[in-house]
Amino acid sequence: MSAISVRELRKSYGALEAVRGISFDVAVGEVFGLLGPNGAGKTTTVEILEGYRPRDGGDVEVLGFDPGRSEAAFRERIGVVLQSSELWPNLTVREVHRVFAGYYARPRDVDEVVELVGLAQKRDARVKTLSGGQKRRLDLGVALVGDPDLVFLDEPTTGFDPAARRNAWQLVRSLRELGKTVLLTTHYLDEAQQLADRVAVLRAGELVKMGPPSELIGDARAEIRYRRNGELVILETEDPTRELHELTGAALAAGYELDGLEVRRPTLEDVYLDLMDEAPPEPYA
């Protein structure tokens, strides 16, 4: 069963075609990552799914609803974390959760949610005294307080230091354990690799690749690097075991050293950068 189903989605802003007929499905309980550079159409796509923007064409179904009709029953079941939003600075963490809990018919227990996002120590602290990472956790807590089935996370760790990012990742994993469906946008490739069951790569409004991160990486060839007479040699291969064996065998037999020998599996980042290079995006109007 699909939590999200998108068919031939289109959206233009004036002459700019921001989204050019993309299709994808997100299964219930899946963590799905939308990847792409700025201007690729990620935010436009997500905001159409969240019900913020009308679409120009195509079919969209989210939890069985058409988000374009903006029904309260639909909004009961989604949680949204925006790229940037500042909640009331003078209320406490608990009070902000309580205000949002009041908007939903069947909210979760406020203290439980505060605990879940790791703000139990800060429950009576005013929002303005929180650190950047704590504020993002507050955003997440507020998105979860209505007990949504589907959570939208728009670039949840932009501007985080590495430790805060790892904490945030832990939180997203805990969402999966709760059985929530998560739609995540990010331009950090390692984030998508760590968190997403599947990713879709957007470029200039088109979907250029989709699949589990391991599969996207699996498509790509391994790389063997070493130095010979001071020159860097790079071999791309689909059969690294054999290639390496032959290489080291030859080196041992002839008695020379393979300086700086390494075998690299490409990361999602390499795959992604290749995708971005393949064909230059059409110029924006």
Partner 1 sequence: MRLFAHQLRSEQLVFWRSREAAIFIFIFPVMLFLLLGAVYSGTHEGRPVTDYLVTGLLTYGAANTAFAGLAISLVIRRESGLLKRIRSTPLPPSVYLGAALASILAVFTLQSAVLVGLGRALYGAALPVQPLALVAALAAGALAFAAMGIGISGVIRSSEGASAVVNVLVLPMAFLSGAFGPTRNLPEALQAVADLLPLRHLVEVVEAVYLTGEGLGGEAASLAVLAAWGAAGLALAVRRFRWEPRER
Which of 33, 41, 51, 240 lies at the binding interface for partner 1 (CB under 8 A)?
A: 51
Is the Cβ of residue 98 or residue 187 nearer to partner 1 in the bound state? Answer: 98
CB of 46 to partner 1, least distance (A): 11
Cβ neighbours for 185, distance < 8 A, ≥ 6 positions apart: 33, 34, 35, 42, 43, 46, 153, 154, 155
In the chain, the amino acid numbered 285 is A
Determine if 65 is a binding residue for partner 1 (CB under 8 A). no
Q: Pick from 15, 72, 163, 285: which binds partner 1 (CB under 8 A)?
A: 72
127-144 burial code (b ≥16 CB/10 A, e <16): beebeebbbbbbbbbbbb
Kindly state the helix (H) or strand (E) to which residue 152 belongs, with its residue range: strand 150-154
Subset of residues 87 to 146 that bind partner 1, contact rule: CB under 8 A: 87-91, 95, 99-100, 102-105, 142, 146
Rounded Cα distance between 140 and 262, Å, is 41
Residue with smaller CB distance to partner 1, 74 or 226: 74
The distance of closest approach from Cβ of residue 70 to partner 1 in the complex, given in angstroms and rounded to an integer, is: 9
The residue among 127 and 172 lying less far from partner 1, judged by its C-beta, is: 127
Residue 86 and residue 82: Cα distance in Å, rounded? 10
82 lines the binding site for partner 1 (CB under 8 A): yes
Cβ proximity to partner 1: between 67 and 266 the closer is: 67
**Partner residues linked to 25 by β-bridges:** 5
Q: Which is nearer to partner 1, 38 or 90 (CB)?
A: 90
Q: How far is the CB of 151 from partner 1 (least distance, A)?
A: 11
Strand order in the sheet with 231-237: 231-237, 222-228, 259-264
Rounded Cα gap, residues 130 and 110, in angstroms: 18
Chain positions contacting partner 1, by CB under 8 A: 50-52, 72-73, 75-76, 78, 80, 82, 84-91, 95, 99-100, 102-105, 142, 146
